Amino acid sequence: MDWFGTFPIIAFFFGLIFGSFYNVCIYRLPRDESIIKPRSFCPGCGKTIPWYENIPLFSYLFLRGKCSTCGATISFRYFFVELITGLAFGFGVYHYGISIKTLEFVVLASLMIILFFTDLDERILPDEITLGFIPVGLIFAFFSMERNLKESILVTILGAGGLALIAWIYFKVKKIEGMGMGDIKMLALMGVFLGIKAFLALLIAALLGTIAGLFIIYVLKKGKRYEIPFGCFLSIGTLIAYIYGNEMLAWYVHHYIVH
C-alpha cells in the first residue's frame, strides 16, 4: 500500500469534517453564539439539519444549495470552506509528512480559514481565535526547528505593539481608524506561529490589499470609504509565508544582500 499517497487522502476527508465545523464557527463567533449548541440549523427557517443533510460537500450538491424545508439558498461558502479545509489538511500531510510541523500547519491553516471568512462576511476577527490561540502558537514555537520561543515572543511584541502605535498615531492625526484592533491582534497570532516571517506575511498582505483596494476603488467604483477586510489578506499572507517564507527570504538575501 502506498502510505505516502494514502495519508494525504485520509487527511483530506478529515479536513472536510473539520471544515463543516469551521462553517459553524464562521457563522456563530461574530454573533457571540455557542459553537457547541444548538446543532446546525437553517438560518432561514430555523430547522435543525439532520445528519444525512450535513455530510460535507455531498449534502450541498445533493440539495443543490437549498434548504430541504424552506428552499432558502445555502451560501456557496459552506461548500467552499469544507473543500479548502480538506485540501489544506491533505496538502499539510503531503508536504510535511507525519510530523509536528504538519499539525502546526493544519492548526494555522484552520485558524486562517476561519479568520478569512469572518472578516470577509462580518468584518470581524474574533478574539476567540486571534487571542485564544496565541498560547497554542507558543507551544509550537517551543518545539519548532525553524524558530524559537524568544523569537516568537519578540516578533509578537514588536510587530503587534508597533502596529498598534502606528494605528494610534494615525487615528490622532487623521481622526479616523486606519487599522482595527482585530488586525493587530491577528498580527500577534501570526507572530507566534511565524516568528520573523510574520513581517514577510504582513508585506505580502499589504501588497495584496493595495492591489485589491485599487481594484475596488477604481474598477468597482466602491469609493475610498469602502472598508477593506485586511484580515483576509493577512490570512493569505500568513499561509504563503509559512509555506514559502524560507525560500523567499533566502532568495532575497542571495540577490540583494550577498550580491
pTM of the complete model? 0.91
User: What percent of the chain shows pLDDT beyond 70?
Assistant: 93
pLDDT, mean over the chain: 89
Whether the predicted pLDDT of 65 surpasses 50 = yes
How far apart CA 250 and CA 103 sit, in angstroms, is: 25
Local confidence band at 259 (pLDDT 50, 70, 90 cut-offs): low
How far apart CA 230 and CA 28 sit, in angstroms, is: 21
Local confidence band at 175 (pLDDT 50, 70, 90 cut-offs): low
Specify the pLDDT at position 249: 85
Among the ranges given (28-32, 187-191, 210-214, 217-221), the one the predictor scored with the smallest mean pLDDT: 217-221
Whether the predicted pLDDT of 101 surpasses 80 = yes
How far apart CA 158 and CA 94 sit, in angstroms, is: 34
Residue written as cell 461574530?
30
Specify the pLDDT at position 213: 86
Whether the predicted pLDDT of 178 surpasses 70 = no
Q: What is the pLDDT of residues 193-230, one digit of tens each?
A: 999 999 999 999 999 999 998 888 887 777 666 778 99
Enclosing H/E stretch for 129 = helix 127-130
Specify the pLDDT at position 181: 85
How far apart CA 43 and CA 254 sit, in angstroms, is: 53
Tell me the C-alpha to C-alpha distance, in Å, between residue 66 and each of 72, 76, 107, 140, 248.
Answer: 5, 10, 31, 41, 44
Whether the predicted pLDDT of 173 surpasses 80 = no
Q: Phi/psi of residue 41, each to 5°? A: -140, 160
Among the ranges given (36-50, 110-124, 227-241), the one the predictor scored with the smallest mean pLDDT: 36-50
